[in-house]
Amino acid sequence: MHAHLAAQDDDMWYVITNGPMKILKVSTTTTTTEGAPVMKEKPKHEWTAEDKRKVNLDNVAKDIIYNTFDKNMFSKIKSCSTAKEIWEKLTQLCEGNNQTKENKLMVATHKFDNIKMRPRETMTEFDERFSSIAIEISTLGKTYINREIFIKVMRALPRE
């Protein structure tokens, strides 16, 4: 059962990154010049239950993605016709191009460099805010060694 779920997850990721699955079968009438079999689309009347499941995966993936987002984000992806198109649009919206990433990194680094614990802010609140910035920077590809982070935290705390 576990192997079946893993294969299903692999199929879902395939659909998201490569587009809807095509159901193929070996052509009995055509081969390549090297004698290898040629694949052709399998007629719908020959589809097995597994073939139908694979064809429907694009719809399943789109439904999962649609139900994940609020109305604002949904309005940005609703025109996409496949899960792959949605994924590419989301990647573009969330990550941006190289210039956008550089700008995001510059802003995050500035926040990191200038972070200070606020008056009446608890250690938990400060830790959450600091961690959020550190995760953002890490996501954008910059890393700090533990010593740099420790020094930054110590300098950000008030004297008392």
What is the Cα–Cα distance from 39 to 31, expressed in whole angstroms? 9
What is the Cα–Cα distance from 158 to 149, expressed in whole angstroms? 16
pLDDT at residue number 31: 65
pLDDT at residue number 33: 65
pTM above 0.75, yes or no: no
pLDDT tens-digit series, residues 64-107: 888 888 888 888 898 999 999 999 888 888 766 677 778 888 99
Q: Which among 1, 84, 13, 90 has a CA at the least distance from the CA of 54? A: 13
Structure tokens at 37: 């079999």
What is the Cα–Cα distance from 125 to 119, expressed in whole angstroms? 11
Q: Strand (E) positions, 35-135? A: 37-41
pLDDT at residue 5 is higher than 50:
no
Mean pLDDT of the chain: 85
